[in-house]
Structure 1
């Protein structure tokens, strides 16, 4: 029982949001589905917070991030702001005693990602990053087939994540601006999702890689562009598999196509996020197309079937499942299997850093594990007041 005599386990949790754009809308819908109260939002100004609160149904409009974090009734803070602010806001929320859901990238440098990850670990808070493609049931089915040995020894991986929303030189967004989006765009934004899904399914890590990057247009919106539109990667895993990745935000006709093919000595598995209800299982003879059906899937996949077979599930359903598991972890103190935490956000930062090093210096680059943390100088995370 809490100080008000309410059962703290069954009492509805309350979520606060920093940022009021597209991702805040996605988070807000997922929070409501999980039975959590969207209690308030802070944005760049009180006026913009008020508009977001009204438009997205996020409750109270706070005059500042500090005011939101000072509200003891807020249990979990969702950070949906430009990339360069993520680590700063996440650290402030953790220090205010909140659990945190922080949009990726967790940080725009490995040093900041490591610092905020260590802070979450020290404070014992649930701190999650929305690598939500893990929550498609057919991704879980692929993972189960690898785990149970049905694929055999994994030999090769082909992956791509293709979009066309920046196809024209006239297309622009804050993510293109390095001062807001950080030094990597295409890889940090969508390539990180692709790598996370691959490593999640394989229960293996990319150990080294070689990368090329390209910027399709030197200017957008009247300013120079220094972040990449296209990334090509060759990689090797610790387990000895080899693979290739192609990431592009300038691929005509592709809206949000995360696709991967994993080939082992027995089976090939193919998943396409734009067709998330199916998983192709290739064999030397007797290939088949598995359709999402909780009656026949592995229990770890059937758990994420929120609708009966034949009723399509998509991206928002995957996001809803992620948020449901976040709040289960908050309530129970134990993270469900496969919940992506800040450690996974740090992992993505290390991969992004290796891609940038390879593109800049050439050749193969090792991708170090998260722990032990690298020794030497670390850039400290500045507090909100220090950054003002």
Structure 2
């Protein structure tokens, strides 16, 4: 049980996911804050949390709060992270870290100067078989990585009547599908390969240039809107899907397909790494198995079992083989890693979770992807 006390900001889809994951990780969650006092009160009652904070400022003024989780719309992250750090609280922020590279670079600087522990919630790293893939690359089991390809596809924005604040550039940023889910894939692949993306070539597409916004608002993954709900037409410029060619500092190349308009794909991230000795394939919709390809012997299907995994993977695998682990467990393991690092109190140790520096690099890649799409050419990722 952690001695640290946390507050979650944001009551939409992902805020309660953080609350559940924190509780399962043994962290004392003392409150959750919504966009209004009523939303804060209602969420606290629903999630059975002890304190009702009406505002972030009120929570930051509580000396018993040690860590703040930000699960708010993207446009709010920059100012909220600044406030959290100024109040002397550790901070875990949902992705993307900020709206642009100037903001994210400033947050990296502020975090370093504060001496506080900061991270970005790229939770997909914390599927055990993703750690296993990283270990196999690092120990040379698959040989040198030749190429990487994969996708992250969903269907929750397939229809023009599907709406969420993320589709609006002023709320989510100029990129949407890439920034919202594509960055998860990019963070994961750079973690697994140990190699940074150095240049990109992107072709993006807005399928629905006009969507219908419910007058009362809509939540993430809330399902298709009823025809009886009052809506207003709004123009949309953010992308629904797109393809990106990649080059890595190791010399490997690859490609990524991102879509939020692929019918039947609810939340599917997959990757395939081709090495000089073998290949690896994994899909988040069947996260407890990984395909291992060979040239001169039968292929393998590794089913998650802590007794068969590298120590880095078994360390984040809570249950025995045959007892499946999934999406909620990734948050639990991320939080265990984050809070364990705070409690060890040794900042000289490498952070075993995505840091603000990682979050900043993702925005640098997004910047290159957007410029590549706009200028129709390869674009280097700035350092």
Normalising by structure 1, what TM-score?
Answer: 0.91
Q: Show the counterpart of 2:161.
A: 170
Partner of 2:19: 28
Partner residue in 2 for 1:360? 374
| Partner of residue 311 from structure 1, selected from 313, 319, 323 | 323
> Are 1:37 and 2:55 counterparts?
no
Q: Map of 1:1-388 to 2, 5 A cutoff? A: 12-221=3-212, 222-284=233-295, 285-334=297-346, 338-369=352-383
Q: For 1:229-284, what per-residue CA distance to the aligned partner results, in whole angstroms no more than 9, with x for missing partners?
A: 11210011111001010000001110110000000110100010111001111000
Shift of 1:57: 2.6
The Cα of 1:59 is off from its aligned counterpart by 2.9
Q: What is the alpha-carbon root mean square deviation over aligned residues?
A: 1.2
CA distance in 2, matches of 1:91, 1:220: 33
Contact kept? 2:2, 2:28, Cα under 8 Å: no
Q: 1:16 to 1:337 in 2, by over 3 A?
A: closer
CA contact (8 A) 1:328 1:336 kept: no
Residue 194 of structure 1: CA displacement? 0.3
Task: Report the Cα distance in structure 1 between the residues aligned to 2:351 and 2:171, rounded to whole angstroms.
Answer: 33
Q: Are the equivalent residues in 1 in contact too, given 2:7–2:65 (CA < 8 A)?
A: yes
CA distance in 2, matches of 1:194, 1:51: 34
Q: CA deviation at 1:58?
A: 3.3
Determine if contact 2:2/2:339 at 8 Å carries over to the other structure.
no
Contact map agreement 2:341 2:351 (CA 8 A) in 1: no
Instruction: Provide the rounded CA distance (Å) in 1 between the counterparts of 2:39 and 2:305.
Output: 43
Q: Which moved more, 1:53-62 or 1:269-278?
A: 53-62
Count of aligned residue pairs for this structure pair: 360
The answer to which of 327-336 and 359-368 deviates more is: 327-336
Name the SS for the 1:209 alignment partner: strand
**For each residue in 1:25-70, what CA deviation from the matched residue of structure 2 results, as whole angstroms up to 9, or x when unmatched?**
1100111112111112222221111011112233312121111111
Deviation by residue 1:178-227 (Cα, 9 ceiling, x = unmatched): 22112111000000000011100000011101001101101112100011
Separation of aligned partners in 1, 2:323 and 2:64: 37
CA offset at residue 337 of structure 1? 5.4
Distance (Å, rounded) in 1 between the aligned partners of 2:378 and 2:136: 31
SS of equivalent to 2:157 = coil
Is this contact kept in 2: 1:231–1:248, CA < 8 A?
Answer: yes
What is the CA–CA distance in structure 1 between the aligned matches of 2:183 and 2:365, rounded to whole Å? 8
Paired residues of 1:41 and 1:68 also in contact (CA < 8 A): no
User: Normalising to structure 2: TM-score of the pair?
Assistant: 0.92
Aligned partner of residue 161 in structure 1, secondary structure: strand
Q: Following the alignment from structure 1 to structure 2, what is the Cα–Cα distance between the partners of residues 225 and 74?
A: 39
Determine if contact 1:28/1:58 at 8 Å carries over to the other structure.
Answer: no
**What is residue 222 of structure 2 aligned with on the other side?**
none
